[in-house]
Chain A
């Protein structure tokens, strides 16, 4: 296995009323070729900003102020506008959360697929249409020939997301970023779309960066998972490590709040409080204000990511103290 994407100590700032607010602080992730890497966290934790900034698609007010993003060993941040444009859709593609609003309402489905093919390949409209129809079939769109001329609003949400995926894989990119691809969909459709993503990975050996707030989704999909909280990575490890041995109190909270059959009948756990807004973030551990284990030190100094096992890092002062059990902490609440 080799590295395809590595994010090195990336910090993103937001300029607002002449104040600099930190959106992402010192994020480091390495994604291996061919794996499905998951980033999980509540909304507002910065996971979409992170995935958007790989292709420089984050809102204009936000800037990567330090660190670097390397794709196949080359810095994405040093690329020119033109170079980036060439890579978007061809090397790295994206699938967004809400297919309805992410597709252009006034262009046909076919046009929107053909467009990306013709942006990166110098071929005729007819040839591009042939490729588009093939891709549409591949992502499981029925009656592709007719659907080609339909407008997005004529399709169901699941079909719209399939169109988005067709657009994303039309140029057979090496890397696919799926930002909450199933959040806006029904549960049954969710499973189909996730299955489709897995299939694409298997057939084309595409590396996938999957972003979700739903740890449950991640378990089935990912090889490795990073847990994000308030603009920082608090835990990172293989899926097995995260699920079997969650070590950060926040990850544990997330695990507790996944509905599973054995929890049936009991009220589902939810982490008290909310993600602090950008203005509310202070020094120290970002999770301290919601953490049952928090001691004074947690509010004043920032814990660093530390290895707790091979390929398993956690940023929590308590991570090594096995005796402090989560159940124990919960009994205080």
Chain B
């Protein structure tokens, strides 16, 4: 019962977010970046459903546009993590031996290092912008993908159908991509969903620190940074982006958990 609850709730939230994401390309209630000091910090009303910020910009529109930033960062870093994860995970899991040992030690090193520090270093060196943010967060997600894919490979390698394929003289690449990888897809999807939400969380933290997405691009974390100073005057400005962030992270976490429960990897 609870299993389905995670999946259904997570799926519904994610669908909603995707909808907002798509709509944001074609329609937002107000111009995202148009400042109008006369309209600053207006409480939510029928015209500005979520009120306005300290520059008089419509909060709802900026939050809608913010899904684009979130999805680009989430999607981009998951793609980076996935590509390197497949490379490292398959090499380590399929070939084993010293290669496995070396790669896994490196992954351990990456894991032992608080992820946000890595992002901070990159930001110090290259100046903060969206590309650097995506790359930094992408690198952070490599370990979990590598581990999941590696363990999937180690499990599958022993299975009869893989042995059979090898006996028939299939090439390594064919075995990897045709026989083993498809069998690890569900665990990869789970990792992707969970990494997606982590990426959005880290991006928000970086942007909140002023070291992620730069103005005037709308980012939920950045909005929170600006909103904090007006927490008393304009609580809606603080609540709206935070709520959206929480909803997004919750949605992808639930979806990931739901898919995992469905397959019961743990047991």
Direct contact of A and B (CB under 8 A): no
Which residue numbers of B lie inside 8 Å of A, CB to CB? none
> Which A residues are closer than 8 A to B by beta carbons?
none
